[in-house]
């Protein structure tokens, strides 16, 4: 079963919006918790690279050291695919899996994912906790967007609140990440 286009589009839009609106104090990075179906283009990064403002209702989260790795990216891609299949089978879950960046930080998003047994199970099936899923999405998208903006010249330096490790990771693994983003559009292997 292939994830719905609507689900993948929703995850993509949430990723881009969250990266623009996440508070600077959340978990070291200011990107979203959901992945985009395709890596952002230089044009999309340039138009969304404005300063982030903290949402009124989201409390600042404690800083969490999080290291982005390709193993985490692989698990994240598998989890996004699982969530797409789950949302296709139960469209009401699309709202559960999308991060509301103007209302919640990464920890709140992870808690909401964990609170839904089906969603938590789909993420767990990929070998991740909801917390790692949320942090990987935030780190990956923030790193990809900042790297794209730096490459295009839209930014001259890494924005405050984006961990330079995430940007370096995105730059060093650009082709491998693009390959994995394409994989999110394919259905997971049936057991």
pTM: 0.67
Task: Report whether pLDDT(56) > 60.
Answer: no
Q: Give me the DSSP letters along 78-138.
A: HHHHHHHHHHHH-TTHHHHHS--TTT--HHHHHHHHHHSHHHHHHHHHTT--HHHHHHHHH
- Biggest CA–CA distance in the chain, Å, is 47
CA 166, 167, 170, 172: dihedral to nearest 10 degrees? -110
Separation of first and last alpha carbons in the chain: 12
Q: What share of the chain is helix, strand, coil (3-state, %, to 5)?
A: 60, 0, 40
Q: According to the model, what pLDDT value does residue 94 have?
A: 83
Lookup result for tokens 């390709």: 70
Residue boundaries of the structural domains of the chain: 5-49+69-183
Q: Please write the tens of the pLDDT for every residue from 87-116.
A: 999 988 888 888 877 789 999 999 999 999
């Amino acid at each position: 079963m292939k994830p719905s286009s609507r689900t993948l589009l929703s995850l993509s839009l949430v990723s881009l919006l969250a990266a623009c609106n996440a508070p600077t104090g959340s978990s070291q990075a200011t990107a979203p918790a959901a992945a985009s179906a395709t890596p952002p283009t230089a044009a999309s990064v340039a138009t969304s690279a404005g300063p982030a403002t903290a949402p009124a209702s989201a409390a600042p989260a404690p800083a969490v050291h999080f290291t982005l790795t390709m193993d985490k990216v692989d698990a994240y891609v598998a989890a996004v695919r699982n969530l797409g299949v789950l949302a296709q089978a139960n469209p009401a879950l699309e709202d559960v899996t999308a991060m509301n960046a103007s209302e919640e930080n990464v920890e709140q998003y992870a808690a909401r994912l964990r609170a839904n047994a089906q969603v938590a199970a789909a993420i767990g099936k990929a070998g991740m906790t909801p917390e790692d899923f949320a942090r990987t999405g935030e780190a990956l998208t923030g790193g990809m967007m900042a790297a794209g903006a730096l490459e295009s010249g839209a930014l001259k330096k890494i924005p405050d609140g984006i961990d330079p490790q995430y940007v370096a990771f995105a730059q060093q693994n650009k082709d491998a990440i693009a390959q994995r983003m394409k994989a999110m559009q394919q259905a997971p292997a049936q057991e």
